Structure 1
């Protein structure tokens, strides 16, 4: 049910009230991007960004909490699904368009001084798809034949030649049977992106502007419409007993996994029926500098038949704080937290009367996903290493360690033909009066941040 409106006078009885034209909840790459767009579109208007953690960009955007892939459809095989023998390139083309628009936006931000050092944020790393077995080799070749005819992928190279693939991927070809049926596609101009660093640099610029306020260590615990149709937020600060309120004309919820609970509290009709399914992540991180140095690519494989999109294995060269790293994964797990730094009560608190059927329906219609997660949770270190050896046959246990990645919350929404549907993309929800917008979902969100936030601007202000 929609929350009851309250008067501003009643709200201000005991607690101090701040005012802003725009309030953005969440201090990641999405809020940083939207804040810059609002800063340019509405000069002088008051912008406030509220972040729960001590620093901006420490949750989903932080480098160790995501793969850092500049998703452009180059190597992500699940972006080109096959149906009735036909390869559909639409998602790969759309993602490429959005990524390169976002890349141009970052370059423009650098020219304007919003980003101080873009070289610290993005690194050129080849994007490679690698498959094994006759069926997948055939799929990859047909995928390449479709993509190479399009503008974004005309430089893509396909090869079944083991010597050529070994040149691209020396680690992955060593120790592999000479009779192995393998293939790869290669794009030189791929990117590794430190989304957290981009967000931090943008926020550093914004923090120096007189009309922008960045507030850390503060949690939005409630939000309601006032009598004059503005948004009233109740905020709890880091200090015990420090509560305050803020009134704003417009509200954006870009708090990653924390967005769903805030969206539910808004009471807007557009939020009804939405639920979330949290999935935690783990990486294997290489600790051997010699091994790290010998691999120089982001290599994506193909998910096993019946496995969900987040199970796609990939071995990633990363550049974090100027240091080259090597990760393999992701390994999924289950937790009831919606954020890495969240609460175990996040999932149960998100269950409401208007979304319980969506949640139950999505669970029923996604039993393979449930089974996959059960298996992933039970994996031991030895099991994870065996999965790595399918990619890198000579991998040694002592060269790798497990590190915790970020938290994803997959969207669950109502569906016409069944009670609930699990979504694996990024979705914007906007209220009818356009006074509030929220971002739900996961990949390829950060890679397409400019396009996604431009869409928010169009929906809310144009």
Structure 2
């Protein structure tokens, strides 16, 4: 290709779950469009989407306490939980469509049924959990949730957590059997295999170095082939930047006004992984606790059964760490080079506002293995150090921006899409619930970037995602039909009976 220029319709930067989802949706909607993908690493799904770099939770707000906030009057606000649950249902429907259409095979290779549980200790937390349970269990999206503060019942649910615990210690949990463990790395690879069969051009070991606007309004992407060292130039009418932590730098290079005054703060994660199969077999759930005071929401401790390469594993974490890299395979200069004249004040304001987060991260970095084991023993009292190994997970870049509610330098927790006013370029920033809501995020990209096609695309979108444009909470019959059909197609119902 040398230094010649290649034209295409769509360029996807980053071969993670977001680009995979967007590419797959577009190929169903407009199969004639030409799509080109660039990925710096050797294969798809190797950064944030990789199964060892995230918790693998199908985020549906079934167990994550940070999605249900206690208001000053003591009531529990479940609005965010409802939103996230509805968004996850879109992903489940799309995955079912892919399986039913024979576009991907063997759903058990990427999704497994797994009870989702919330666990708290202390009378005050138990009171909150009970109120949360009452608020959620009255909602059709959360049907089937159980609450117990009875030690014998909890011993049935979570024997590994209850064994060796003082029986007079106040403890309670909620449990819902419709939760899932999702291997986003496996799903990403499946989707890119499918895209390859649809003649999507996949370029691995290709690093995007620059993005600039051309005179006709298209985007020119400067790409370096990391094997040959040659520089290539590609132009497209639409560019999606789905490079995980690397998205911020590329957004800044695009020069669009919407990308100004935005910064990023990297947080790395570590997990403890159990190396004793006998211990692994004693636990079957994702159990989420409460974040410590001063800890960011993504540091909620949880003990997770995982299915990786068809093998059952047990992970505990995450422990937060700090590295100036924006990607696990990034540069030590990522943080420094992301600070620009337009976001300098925003970044400084964030630093002043988040001293408690800085202190927390420093404390986390300084933890010894035995100190981490002590935190694990709050979940598993009898945990033995020699049975657990430390694994470094992925890098997450939390978005920092100026907001009306939080003022200058507000740290944003969640996933955010930044789009140019004309919809010709979009960048995905942020972290959890990320991958779980990929389909919702891409539908939002369509609304912002392809509004002229939405009416034409709507029938096909509804074929793929029956609840598109509809609130499932307000349509219990549709919700029930979708729950039944997705569970059957994805092989969840049958396995629930085996495991629970």
Normalising by structure 1, we get a TM-score of 0.96
How far 1:341 sits from its partner (Å)?
Answer: 0.7
SS in 2 for 1:294: coil
Q: Does 1:392 align with 2:374?
A: no
Q: Which runs of 5+ in 2 are unaligned?
A: 452-500
Contact 2:326-2:335 within 8 A present in 1 as well: yes
Q: Does 1:377 align with 2:328?
A: no
How far 1:240 sits from its partner (Å)?
Answer: 4.2
Q: Does 1:427 align with 2:416?
A: yes
Q: Which residue of 1 aligns with 2:245?
A: 257
Give distance in 2, aligned partners of 1:216 and 1:271. Answer: 26
Give distance in 1, aligned partners of 2:194 and 2:171. Answer: 48
How far 1:239 sits from its partner (Å)?
Answer: 2.1
Q: Does 1:453 align with 2:442?
A: yes
Match 1:154 to one of 121, 143, 149: 143
Q: Which residue of 1 aligns with 2:312?
A: 324
Give distance in 2, aligned partners of 1:403 and 1:440. Answer: 24
Match 2:399 to one of 393, 404, 411: 411
How far 1:311 sits from its partner (Å)?
Answer: 2.0
SS in 1 for 2:320: strand
Give distance in 2, aligned partners of 1:382 and 1:274. Answer: 38
Give distance in 1, aligned partners of 2:251 and 2:272. Answer: 34
Q: Which residue of 2 aligns with 1:333?
A: 321
Match 2:27 to one of 10, 14, 39: 39
Q: Which residue of 1 aligns with 2:494?
A: none
* Residues 162-187 of structure 1 deviation map (CA, whole Å, 9 limit, x = unaligned): 01111110010011001110000000
Normalising by structure 2, we get a TM-score of 0.89
Q: Which residue of 2 aligns with 1:65?
A: 53
Q: Does 1:349 align with 2:337?
A: yes
Contact 1:361-1:418 within 8 A present in 2 as well: no
Give distance in 1, aligned partners of 2:377 and 2:4. Answer: 58
Q: Which residue of 2 aligns with 1:110?
A: 99
How far 1:400 sits from its partner (Å)?
Answer: 0.2
Give runs of aligned pairs for residues 198-277 of structure 1, distance below 5 A: 198-210=187-199, 212-277=200-265
* Residues 185-205 of structure 1 deviation map (CA, whole Å, 9 limit, x = unaligned): 000111000011111111101
Q: Which residue of 1 aligns with 2:283?
A: 295
* Residues 245-282 of structure 1 deviation map (CA, whole Å, 9 limit, x = unaligned): 10100000011000000000000000010000000110
Give distance in 2, aligned partners of 1:328 and 1:384. Answer: 10
SS in 2 for 1:207: helix
Q: Does 1:125 align with 2:125?
A: no
Structure 1 residue runs of 4 or more that deviate by more than 6 Å after TM superposition: none
How far 1:373 sits from its partner (Å)?
Answer: 0.2
Give distance in 2, aligned partners of 1:227 and 1:130. Answer: 57
Contact 2:3-2:230 within 8 A present in 1 as well: no
Q: Does 1:308 align with 2:300?
A: no
Match 1:193 to one of 182, 188, 192: 182
* Residues 310-354 of structure 1 deviation map (CA, whole Å, 9 limit, x = unaligned): 221000000001000000000000000000111111111100000
Q: Give the CA RMSD over aligned residues.
A: 1.1
How far 1:16 sits from its partner (Å)?
Answer: 1.7
Q: Which residue of 2 aligns with 1:76?
A: 64
SS in 2 for 1:420: strand
Contact 2:305-2:312 within 8 A present in 1 as well: yes
* Residues 216-269 of structure 1 deviation map (CA, whole Å, 9 limit, x = unaligned): 010000010011110001000122431111010000001100000000000000
SS in 2 for 1:391: coil
Contact 1:234-1:245 within 8 A present in 2 as well: yes
Contact 1:32-1:199 within 8 A present in 2 as well: yes
Give distance in 2, aligned partners of 1:82 and 1:340. Answer: 35
SS in 1 for 2:197: coil
